[in-house]
Structures are given as C-alpha cells and as structure tokens.
Amino acid sequence: MASTVNEQITDAVTQSNVKSVAESPAMAMGTLYQSMAHSTGILFENAVSNQQQQNILAQAATTQGVMQIYSVDTMADALAVATMQDAPKS
C-alpha cells in the first residue's frame, strides 16, 4: 500500500527544517550575547555597591579617628610632657 505525497508538501517541510537548522547558530549566539550582557551588568552593579560600602567604612573610620583626636585631654598631656622635660636625665 504505497501512498504518494505531494512534492509541494515535502518541499515545504524540507525548507522549514533547513530554515530552523540555519537559524539556530544565530539564535544561540544571540542568547549567549544577552546572557553575557546581563552578567556584565550585574558585575558592575556589584562593583558599585562594594565601592559604596568601602566609602561608608572609610568615612566611619575617619569619623572615629577625629573623635579620638578631639577627645584627648590636651591639658593633661601638656602637663605630662612638661613633667617629662623637667625630670632629671640619667
């Protein structure tokens, strides 16, 4: 029981398969480029976030240092230095 298929149908199916196979590398590269662009965007977002955190830490450290400098009792230090200068040298 042999049945024949219209050549137009086989040509349409063949062309459809050829079109799919021909476009797949371009689709794969497009997907790859989109994925790489997204990953690069996330990389830069993380870099900016880390830089902001480092700036906050630097400002906090500077503030702590300045607070320590201002909290030093300068009169007591001056008296201690004067006492050390007056002490006999051995």
Q: Tell me the HSE value of 24 on the side-chain side, using a 13 A CA sphere.
A: 6
Distance of CA 88 to the CA centre of its chain: 61
Q: What is the pLDDT of residues 1-27, one digit of tens each?
A: 557 767 766 777 777 777 777 788 889
Whole-model pTM over 0.85: no
Give me the residue label for tokens 């024949």: 4
- Torsion angle, alpha carbons of 43, 47, 49, 55, to 10: 180
| Total length of the chain | 90
Q: What is the pLDDT of residues 56-88, one digit of tens each?
A: 999 999 999 998 888 877 777 777 778 877 666
